A and B are shown apart, each in its own frame.
Chain A
Amino acid sequence: MEHVRDLGQIRALIASHKRRDAVFACVGVVALMIGVLTFAALFADMALKGVPRLDWDFFTSYPSRRAGQAGILTAWVGSCLVMLTTAAVAVPLGVAAGLYLEEYAPRNWVTDIIEINITNLAGVPSIIYGLLALGLFVYQFGFGQSILSAGLTLALLILPVVIVATRESIRAIPQGIREGAYALGGTQWQVCRDHILPYSSAGILTGVIIGMARAIGETAPVITIGALTFIAFLPPAPVKAEPPFVSFEWLMSPFTVMPIQMFNWTSRPEAAFLVNAAAAGFILVLMTLAMNGLAIWLRYRLRKKIKW
C-alpha cells in the first residue's frame, strides 16, 4: 500500500474504501434481486397464461388432440402413483441407510466407500439415472415401461437427499439420550427404535418432503425409461370391490406424469397447447412451492422448538 502521511489523504482513502463497501452491498442486493425478479416473472408468467385455463374439466379430462378439451387426468393420477412408489421405496431405504451410517457403521473402508458413493451420487445428472433404469429395470429385470420402473428410478435419485437429512437429524441428538437408554439395558435396536428414530423423525420428514418435491418435477429420467406422452386410459385402480380389496396391477401399467404432459404440450406449435402447458406448469410450480415451503417451515419450527 502506498505511503500516506497527510491526514486529508488518509481521510480520503478511508472514505473511498467505505464507498466501495457501500457499492458492494448494493451489488449484492442487485444480484439477489435478479434471482427474486426471475422467480417473480416465472410465477407471474405461468399464472397469467395458465390460471384462466384451470377449471374442473382440466383435472378430469384425458389428453386430447383438441387443446380445449385436453386435461391432465392421466398425468396427475400417474404422478400420484409414481410418487407413492417412490416414497414407499426411498423412505425406508434412506432412513435405514442413514441410521446404519450414524449408529452402527464401524470406521473402516467399507463405510468410507458407502459415504463417498452417497456424495458422488448426489452429483450424478438425473438423466444418467434414467439410463440406469432403462438398462436395468426396464430390460434386465423386465419391469417394462411401468410405474414400478419410474418409482424405483426416482427413489434412487432422491435417496442421497433422504440419507443426508436422516444423518443430520440423528447427529443432532445428544449422546446423553443414547447413554441413558443403554444404561437401562436397551439393545442398540431398542435405542434406535424407541429414541433415535422418534426424535429425528421431524428432521427426516423435512428431507423426505424436499426429496419428493424434487422427484415430482423430474422429467428427464422418466422420459428416458419410456413414459408415454399421450395416454388415454388410467392405470387399474388400486382398490377393488372383491377380496383381497387391494391390487397392485397398477404397478406394471404404462403411465405419464405431470412434467411429461407439460413437456408434450410445450413442444407443440399451436398456441392453445402452450396455454395448457402454462396451466400444467402453474400447478407443478404451486405443488413444488408448497412442498418446499412446508419443509422450510418445519425446519424453522424445529430449530425454535427443540432444546435438548
Chain B
Amino acid sequence: MSAVVPGEISAAPHSGAMTARLAYRRSRIWRERTIEGVLFLAAMVSVFTTVGIVYVLVKESVVFFQTVPLRDFLTDTQWTPLFDDAHFGVMVLLSGTLTSSVVALAIAIPLGTIIAIYLSEFAPFAVREVAKPFLELLGGVPTIVYGYFALLFVTPILQWFYPELPGFNLLSAGIVMGIMIIPYVSSISEDAMRAVPMSLREGSYAMGATRFQTATRVVVPAAFSGIASAYILGISRAVGETMILAVAAGQQPNLTLNPLEPAATITAYIVQVALGDLPHGSIGYQTIFAAGLTLMLFTLACNIGGHMLRKTFREAY
C-alpha cells in the first residue's frame, strides 16, 4: 500500500542508479497491489458461494414451479414426485423436519443451557478445562456414525420401553440429533455468559443472592442475546441435519407430527433422490432443488428471527 512506500518524487537528477531505484520501487508497488487483489479475490469466494447457492437453487426451482403450481406445492397433502400420479406437497416433508427438530431441540436446548450455566457459573476450573474439549469432541463425531447409533442402539432401547415402536422412527433420530446439538448450544451460551462483566455478579452476591439466583436472574438475562443466537444455531443445525434422519427415521414420506412414526424429512428426501440415478433436468431432479430452496428459506427465516431477537435483547455495558 502506498502509505508504506516512501514518496517516489525526487529532486535529484536521474542518474542510472536513480532510475533503477525508481523502477524497483514501481515494481514493488505493483507487486503489493497485485497481492492485495489476489487476497481480496480469495475473500470474495464466500460472496461467490452465497451467490452460487442462490443462483443454483432459484434457477432449478423456477423450472420446477413452471410445472408444479406454487399453490399445490404448499397445500397438497401427498408427496409422491417419482410416481406416475405425482403429487408435490412439501408439507409432508416439512412435517417430518419439524417433528424431528422439535424432539431434538427439546433435548438440546434444556441440556445445553443447563451445561452452559453449570460450566460458566458453578464448575470448578479443572472440570471446565476437561469438559469443554470433551463437548467439542461430541460435536465432531461424523453424523453418519450418530445415524448408525440411533438406528442400532437407541431404537432397540426405546423399543424395550415401548415395544410397538417401529424400527425407523423420528423419536430416536431426534434424540440422538439433540445430543449431537448440545455442544453447539452449550459452548456459545457459555461464551455469552462468561462475557457478562464480573461486576454484575459481584453486585448480585453483595445483595446476598446465591449462585443459582445470580445465574438465573442476573447472568442469563444479561447474556440472553448470546444465548438466543446459540438456540438459533441449534435450530438451523436440527433443520439441516441429514444423515441421522436418512438412516434412522426411514425415507417414507409421511404427513405426521407424531415422533413415534417413521417419516422422511426434506434433507432425507434429497439424499434418497441423489442416491438413485435421476437424469439431469428431469422433474425428479428439480424437486430436490425446490426442496433445498424450502430448507434454505426456512433457515434464513430462523437467522433473521434470531437477528431480530438479538437486537431486542441486546444489553450494553
Contact = CB atoms under 8 A, between A and B. Distances in A.
Nearest to A28: B118
A118 B46 contact: yes
B274 A28 contact: no
Given A132-B56, A159-B46, A34 B111 contact: yes
A292 B117 CA distance: 25
A29 interface: yes
Nearest to B110: A31
B28 interface: yes
A163 B296 CA distance: 23
Interface stretch (B31-39, B68-76, B196-204, B255-263): B31-39
B142 A218 contact: yes
A304 to B, nearest CB: 12
Contact of B46 (A28, A163, A188): A163
A93 B52 contact: no
Interface stretch (B86-94, B145-153, B218-226): B145-153
B141 interface: yes
Contacts of A20: 210, 212
B204 to A, nearest CB: 13
A123 B274 contact: no
B165 interface: no
A217 B141 contact: yes
Contacts of B79: none
A88 interface: no
A113 interface: yes
B133 A131 contact: no
Given A34-B179, A281-B148, A284-B142, A100 B42 contact: yes
B142 A285 contact: yes
A211 B120 CA distance: 26
B142 A217 contact: yes
Contacts of A31: 111, 114-115, 118
B303 A292 contact: no
B289 interface: yes
B275 A223 contact: yes
A274 interface: yes
Contacts of B28: 187
A191 B141 CA distance: 39
B315 interface: no
Contact of B43 (A39, A97, A220, A223): A97
A101 B144 contact: no
Contact of A42 (B43, B122, B143, B145): B145
Contact of A285 (B57, B141, B215): B141
A267 B247 contact: yes
B4 A125 contact: no
Contacts of A220: 143, 242-243, 246, 267, 270-271
Contact of B122 (A28, A125, A224, A263): A28
Interface string B89-125: 0000000000000000000000100110111001100
Given A27-B114, A284-B145, 19 more contacts: A17-B213, A31-B115, A100-B36, A100-B43, A113-B47, A118-B46, A123-B233, A131-B56, A132-B53, A136-B56, A159-B46, A188-B32, A216-B142, A217-B145, A220-B242, A220-B267, A229-B275, A263-B144, A296-B136
Interface of B: 1, 4-5, 28, 31-32, 35-36, 38-40, 42-47, 49-50, 52-53, 55-57, 59-60, 111, 114-115, 117-119, 122-123, 131, 133-138, 140-149, 151-153, 179, 182-183, 210-213, 215, 233, 236, 239-243, 246-247, 267, 270-271, 274-275, 280, 288-289, 292, 295-296, 299, 303
Interface of A: 17-18, 20-21, 24-25, 27-29, 31-32, 34-36, 38-39, 41-42, 45-46, 92-94, 96-97, 99-101, 104-105, 113-114, 117-118, 120-121, 123-132, 134-136, 139, 156, 159-160, 163, 182, 186-189, 210, 213-214, 216-220, 223-226, 229, 259, 262-263, 266-267, 274, 277-278, 281, 284-285, 288-289, 291-293, 296
8 contacts: A24-B212, A38-B138, A131-B289, A219-B142, A224-B274, A262-B148, A266-B151, A284-B144
